[in-house]
A and B are shown apart, each in its own frame.
Chain A
Amino acid sequence: MQKLVLGVVFIPLLGAAINGLFCWKTRRKAHWIAVPAIAIPAVLAFMILLRVMKGERFDHVLYWWIALGGLKIPVGFLVDELSAMMMSMVTFIATWIHIYSIGYMDHEDDISYARYFTYLNLFVFFMLILVAANNYLLMFVGWEGVGLCSYLLIGYWYEKISAANAGMKAFITNRIGDFGFTIALFLIYKHLGSLIFHDVFALAHELSVPLATLITLLLFMGATGKSAQIPLYVWLPDAMEGPTPVSSLIHAATMVTAGVYMIARSHALFNVAPFTMEVVAVVGAATAMFAASMALVNNDLKRVLAFSTVSQLGYMFVGVGVGAYAAGIFHLFTHAFFKGLMFLCAGSVMHALHGELDMQKMGGLINKMKITGITFIIGALAIAGVPPLAGFWSKDSILHHAFVSGHKVVWFIGTVTAGMTAFYMFRLIFLTFFGEPRDKHLYEHAHENPPVMTIPLIVLAVGSVLAGLLALAPNGGFEGFINRIMRTAHEMVTHGAEHAGGHESGLALIIISVAVAVMGIFLAYSMYIKRVPDPVTMAQRFRPIYLVLYNRYWVDELYFALFINPTVGISRHVLWKIVDVLIIDGIVNGVAGLCSLIGSVVRRIQTGYIPDYAWLVIIGVVIVCGLKILL
């Protein structure tokens, strides 16, 4: 088992190291190293998963990283149902995205091509560290490491000013979340004396409720950064500046779900803090709807998908927030397939249209790009929650748990958002693939991509269809598998379910959400194919709302006005120019000036004439003697 785990985690690092150090040698052949460096771990991870299914677990320390007094932090790995599933999912999706990248990145020059695969391998390595770590600090290494790779890959085309800005924004925004995460670690260590999962969770029940609430809120703050929730979601839409396979792998399937994983992993802590759970659920629901509303009007193919990702992450947080950790993880799992797929499809469209992203210039592409079109539709159906595709099962499970645990408002928001999701996704499909081509020139040059790109699409499309069926597997299906490590939470939820009346409501809920999804699709069809009501007139009639949504509620501008500009302004004009240069250095130079002033005055006495000195001596003698007599 240990060999397997080490193989899974470190082979990607090896790949990154080879391509990184010898990029002038590997060049065009970089993928011959990079792809196996992910594919082999994918196979190994699957072997681990099979063993875990048989009941095997693994928690092993490789070496002690930091050991100082009571603080002992190992580099060690934990393999249980949750991490085994994550490892398999990450390596599986990553393998196909690596293969897809061979086709997608073929325009890059040689060194950049190797650089791309280096970063991508390195990302997978850190992601595996994140999910396989057996303590919080090592998890944090992965957590920051994926952030680093995200920064590097968003800014991959660093000469583009928007890409450079987006990379920086992502990293710094994440750091704000990390601030909370770090403080949470300090608190955990202070009160539980360890950062190793095993110890922390065993002792978690000893925490007082307010303390547990504080810790979990701070952890959640970290999650809002990494998983792009309100208020730190702003970096993710901009992150679309990176190459599209990167958006697919990092900003849809894997890294951004790290926050959900972290909360599920920390379920023992969150269970002690019911208030935090409410916060997580509410923030999740709010983000889901908020992001979906922005996706309704955006014309940028990838931005729509980005908002959709933010929105779907919101669902996952609803899941973990209402105590249905397994449902949240299940949605994480299915989402990785269909959202990864849709980004790759979007990349395929972009590749065919020479980087064009504006949906208003597309249309009718289904005739030119059959495979991309069909797989994209499969993805959209999956996310819309049409049975029996993947999204249906996991989204419904979350909404079901929200409803039965008494979060009626959250359930309602989730259901409405499901309708919005179906609408904007099919708006995207109809604008892109159906109707008349709106830019003839682009349309003429469009073509289906080579198999190296379409095969991954097909694989992930199959996954998007079938992944949800795992819910029907024996022993409680996917969620039952995950719940093997989360007994308490599971019991809590099922307990709540019995309370609410159980399974009769289940069917009704399913019917409602499917109906909402179908309505969303139908509305998109009628607006963007039949043009009743016409979207352009709609936008004019509801212009204020349209503007608010189109400009994304001016949140970026708000953050600039509230935080960034004042910080920079105060730093420059007050702290630096006034406090530092004028006051502190002024005093320093003032003291120096005073000394030389005194010197220049006293210097006048040194005339060089002996009679003057004699007079001074006499005056001195008189003063001293006078004082002596007087006192």
Chain B
Amino acid sequence: MIANFPILTVLIFFPLVGVLIISFIDRKNVNVIRWTAFVISVIEFLISVPLYFEFRLGTPQFQFVEKHPWIKAWGAYYYVGIDGISLFLVLLTTFLTVLSILASWSIEKRVKEYMISFLFLETTMVGVFVALDILLFYLFWELLLIPMFLLIGVWGGPRRVYAAIKFFLYTMAGSVLMLGAIIYLYWNHYNVTGFLSFDLFELLKTPVPSTVVPWLFLAFAVAFAIKVPMWPFHTWLPDAHVEAPTAGSVILAGVLLKMGTYGFMRFCMPFFPSAVQKFALLFLALSVIGIIYGALVALVQEDIKKLVAYSSVSHLGTCMLGLFALNLQSVSGSLLQMINHGISTGALFLLVGVIYDRRHTRLIKEYGGIAKVMPMYATFFMIAMFSSCGLPGLNGFVGEFLTLIGTFQNYPIFAVLGTTAVVFSAAYLLWMYKRVFFQPLTNPANMKLKDLNFREFVILLLITVPMFWIGLYPKPFLERMQPSVEAFIKLSKGEATVSMIYKKDTASSKVALDLSEDTKIED
């Protein structure tokens, strides 16, 4: 039954059903809108769960593939599928969306538009991760900017317009470069083979003139590096995070940044193995700078949210380090770290949101000693904090350790520099924690703070579960990733060609094509 079910298509478009429903609800029925959005996101998550269980192990092939003609004249297809790389990013997206919507209960302004934007955002996010047609990918990639721009620009903090425009233009600047590179690949493919295609695998197969390769690589790399963000393209991030509403920050950190790393994994590196070799040292160096620099700047932030934002720069540096080290452990660790960062940093943003709702300030010096009045909150914050700074037994450790031990096999110096993060991350997080939660409770505004309510408790409990799961038993994650990661490494090292790895893919996609034609008839 599941084989015939176009699960990815449903995943992409189901939130739009929610958008449709909400648009018919009167804007005064705020609670109805909230609940509708919430229920839609929960159903969406439940639909995505079978991906995990039905995912076939031991193969790098794309699964749940669907391929329909889209713009025939251009050779563009509606072509979607997932492998071990995108599987968990999709699950992370649907999971975090549920929590984000639940965390948005405190939004009072234009709830209808807010929820519509959010569900639309979910559609585009899922689309980015499952698209196998590069035009389709680019479409989702760009569409995504709109709801995110609105979320920051309408529901954000005092400097929201500046932050939103900065976020938008910064990403656009990268996207333009990427678009240029995509068009080049497209025409190059036409010149070589004589037919038009945006199919990822077709493009991967086509040889590119070696003089152009570095430029194309850099065009993609800059676009993705901005999104990650890698140092020195990171300055949009603190602004965007600080100004975005809580749920916006969660999605921004949890999912949007991963689009950058995902882009590296799916396009940038497998496309241009020779350029990867050429630029590896540069990117490793930038990653390490990001790790240390992000941590040091986080250390001295006065705003909790900005601190978490800079910690993202540091964590994503670890991810990039692992990717460019191109080693089974490092890449798997990096991929796991992407998920981990989504969970633990997502949790930290949710936690900051809880206190911001109560006090409308995020300055560290406004707090102190609030563990006394909010013990439950303090407990969750502590778990998320230790998850973020890589305490063994929680998720962050597994990802960080794998990334670094793998990197060490190939680039010991970079790994050693990256490992300094264990000291710095403990320093900035614990120091902040001490100033916010410990010490005497002196500020009278904090005396009457209420501990978590039921809704907040549920959100935080839900996000804490995967921290322990990945920390204690990462096997289900690692075994699903492994074949795809191996394929990625072979491609990016130039050790294998696309047709060697995705040999059976054409066959299976044909099956999918046939099946989809069946479904079409039903339509």
- Listed in ascending order, the chain A residues whose CB lies under 8 Å from chain B are 63-69, 71, 111, 137, 140-141, 144-145, 148, 151, 155, 158-161, 163-165, 167-168, 171-172, 175-176, 178-179, 182-183, 185-187, 189-190, 567-568, 570-572, 575-576, 579-580, 584-585, 588, 592
3 cross-chain pairs, A with B, having the tightest CB-CB distances, nearest first: A164-B438, A572-B300, A158-B438
**B426:A171 contact, CB within 8 angstroms:** yes
Beyond A69-B329, A141-B393, whether A182 also contacts B422 by CB under 8 A is yes
B297 at the binding interface (Cβ < 8 Å) = yes
Interface size on B, as a range, is: 35 or more
Central interface residue in A111, A155, A570, A576, by most chain B CB within 10 Å: A576
Residue of B nearest to A177 (CB): B423
**A66:B398 contact, CB within 8 angstroms:** yes
- Listed in ascending order, the chain B residues whose CB lies under 8 Å from chain A are 166, 169-170, 232, 234-236, 293, 296-297, 299-301, 328-329, 332, 369, 371-372, 375, 386, 391-393, 397-398, 401-402, 404-405, 408-409, 412, 415-416, 419-420, 422-423, 426-427, 430-431, 434, 437-441, 472-475, 478, 482
* The residue from A68, A163, A579 contacting B332, defined by CB atoms under 8 A apart: A68
Beyond A145-B393, A584-B232, whether A66 also contacts B478 by CB under 8 A is yes
A579 CA to B439 CA, complexed, in Å: 32
* The residue from A68, A187, A580 contacting B478, defined by CB atoms under 8 A apart: A68
A47 CA to B412 CA, complexed, in Å: 45
Beyond A159-B440, A175-B422, whether A186 also contacts B293 by CB under 8 A is no
Chain A residues with CB below 8 A from B299, complex form: 567-568, 571
- Shortest CB-to-CB span from A284 to chain B, Å, is 24
- Shortest CB-to-CB span from B10 to chain A, Å, is 32
Chain A residues with CB below 8 A from B441, complex form: 159
Beyond A67-B478, A178-B422, A584-B232, whether A576 also contacts B440 by CB under 8 A is no
Residue of B nearest to A158 (CB): B438
- Shortest CB-to-CB span from A111 to chain B, Å, is 7
- Shortest CB-to-CB span from B396 to chain A, Å, is 12
**B392:A141 contact, CB within 8 angstroms:** yes
- Show 6 residue pairs from A and B whose CB-CB distance is below 8 angstroms, ordered by the A residue: A68-B482, A171-B430, A186-B419, A190-B412, A567-B299, A588-B170
**A144:B438 contact, CB within 8 angstroms:** no
A107 CA to B419 CA, complexed, in Å: 43
Q: Chain A: interface secondary structure?
A: helix
**B419:A182 contact, CB within 8 angstroms:** yes
Chain A residues with CB below 8 A from B408, complex form: 183, 186-187, 189-190
**A161:B440 contact, CB within 8 angstroms:** yes
**A68:B402 contact, CB within 8 angstroms:** yes
**B405:A168 contact, CB within 8 angstroms:** no
**B392:A69 contact, CB within 8 angstroms:** no
**B437:A158 contact, CB within 8 angstroms:** yes
Central interface residue in A163, A167, A171, by most chain B CB within 10 Å: A171
Chain A residues with CB below 8 A from B393, complex form: 141, 144-145
**B434:A164 contact, CB within 8 angstroms:** yes
Chain B residues with CB below 8 A from A111, complex form: 375
Beyond A65-B473, A68-B478, A584-B232, whether A158 also contacts B371 by CB under 8 A is yes
Chain B residues with CB below 8 A from A189, complex form: 405, 408
A427 CA to B463 CA, complexed, in Å: 54
Central interface residue in A140, A172, A579, by most chain B CB within 10 Å: A172
Beyond A159-B441, A161-B440, whether A183 also contacts B416 by CB under 8 A is yes
- Shortest CB-to-CB span from A20 to chain B, Å, is 9
A388 CA to B205 CA, complexed, in Å: 81
Residue of A nearest to B428 (CB): A571
**B419:A179 contact, CB within 8 angstroms:** yes
**A168:B422 contact, CB within 8 angstroms:** no
Chain A residues with CB below 8 A from B332, complex form: 68
Beyond A69-B328, A144-B392, whether A580 also contacts B402 by CB under 8 A is no
Chain B residues with CB below 8 A from A179, complex form: 419-420, 422-423
- Shortest CB-to-CB span from B464 to chain A, Å, is 13
Chain B residues with CB below 8 A from A172, complex form: 423, 426-427, 430
**A592:B422 contact, CB within 8 angstroms:** no
A588 CA to B478 CA, complexed, in Å: 39
Chain A residues with CB below 8 A from B329, complex form: 68-69, 71
**B431:A168 contact, CB within 8 angstroms:** yes
**A568:B300 contact, CB within 8 angstroms:** yes
- Shortest CB-to-CB span from A199 to chain B, Å, is 16
A575 CA to B412 CA, complexed, in Å: 26
A71 CA to B408 CA, complexed, in Å: 13
**B401:A137 contact, CB within 8 angstroms:** yes
**A571:B430 contact, CB within 8 angstroms:** no
Residue of B nearest to A139 (CB): B392
Beyond A159-B439, A575-B297, A580-B235, whether A68 also contacts B328 by CB under 8 A is yes
A189 CA to B412 CA, complexed, in Å: 12
**A571:B297 contact, CB within 8 angstroms:** yes
- Shortest CB-to-CB span from A564 to chain B, Å, is 9
Residue of A nearest to B295 (CB): A571
A159 CA to B375 CA, complexed, in Å: 13
Residue of A nearest to B398 (CB): A66
Chain B residues with CB below 8 A from A68, complex form: 328-329, 332, 402, 478, 482
Chain A residues with CB below 8 A from B415, complex form: 186
**A140:B392 contact, CB within 8 angstroms:** yes
A145 CA to B299 CA, complexed, in Å: 24
A580 CA to B440 CA, complexed, in Å: 33
Residue of B nearest to A165 (CB): B434
Beyond A159-B439, A175-B423, A178-B422, whether A185 also contacts B405 by CB under 8 A is yes
- Shortest CB-to-CB span from B443 to chain A, Å, is 13
Chain B residues with CB below 8 A from A145, complex form: 391-393
Chain B residues with CB below 8 A from A182, complex form: 401, 404, 419, 422
**A67:B475 contact, CB within 8 angstroms:** yes
A69 CA to B331 CA, complexed, in Å: 12
Chain B residues with CB below 8 A from A190, complex form: 408-409, 412
A585 CA to B237 CA, complexed, in Å: 11
Chain B residues with CB below 8 A from A155, complex form: 434, 438
Chain B residues with CB below 8 A from A592, complex form: 169
**A71:B300 contact, CB within 8 angstroms:** no
A168 CA to B235 CA, complexed, in Å: 30
Residue of B nearest to A162 (CB): B439
**B392:A66 contact, CB within 8 angstroms:** no
* The residue from A144, A167, A572 contacting B391, defined by CB atoms under 8 A apart: A144
Chain B residues with CB below 8 A from A165, complex form: 434
Chain B residues with CB below 8 A from A567, complex form: 296, 299
- Shortest CB-to-CB span from A122 to chain B, Å, is 11
**A183:B419 contact, CB within 8 angstroms:** yes
**B438:A159 contact, CB within 8 angstroms:** yes
- Shortest CB-to-CB span from B261 to chain A, Å, is 19
Chain A residues with CB below 8 A from B297, complex form: 571, 575-576, 580
**A186:B404 contact, CB within 8 angstroms:** yes
- Shortest CB-to-CB span from A98 to chain B, Å, is 22
Chain A residues with CB below 8 A from B420, complex form: 179
**B386:A148 contact, CB within 8 angstroms:** yes
**B296:A176 contact, CB within 8 angstroms:** no
Chain B residues with CB below 8 A from A187, complex form: 408
A579 CA to B375 CA, complexed, in Å: 38
**A168:B434 contact, CB within 8 angstroms:** yes
Chain A residues with CB below 8 A from B426, complex form: 171-172, 175
**B375:A161 contact, CB within 8 angstroms:** no
* The residue from A159, A168, A178, A572 contacting B430, defined by CB atoms under 8 A apart: A168
Chain B residues with CB below 8 A from A183, complex form: 408, 416, 419
A145 CA to B386 CA, complexed, in Å: 11
- Shortest CB-to-CB span from B403 to chain A, Å, is 11
- Shortest CB-to-CB span from A116 to chain B, Å, is 14
Residue of B nearest to A178 (CB): B422
A155 CA to B297 CA, complexed, in Å: 26
Chain B residues with CB below 8 A from A160, complex form: 440
- Shortest CB-to-CB span from B292 to chain A, Å, is 9
- Shortest CB-to-CB span from A398 to chain B, Å, is 32
A567 CA to B301 CA, complexed, in Å: 13
Residue of A nearest to B423 (CB): A175
* The residue from B236, B372, B478 contacting A159, defined by CB atoms under 8 A apart: B372
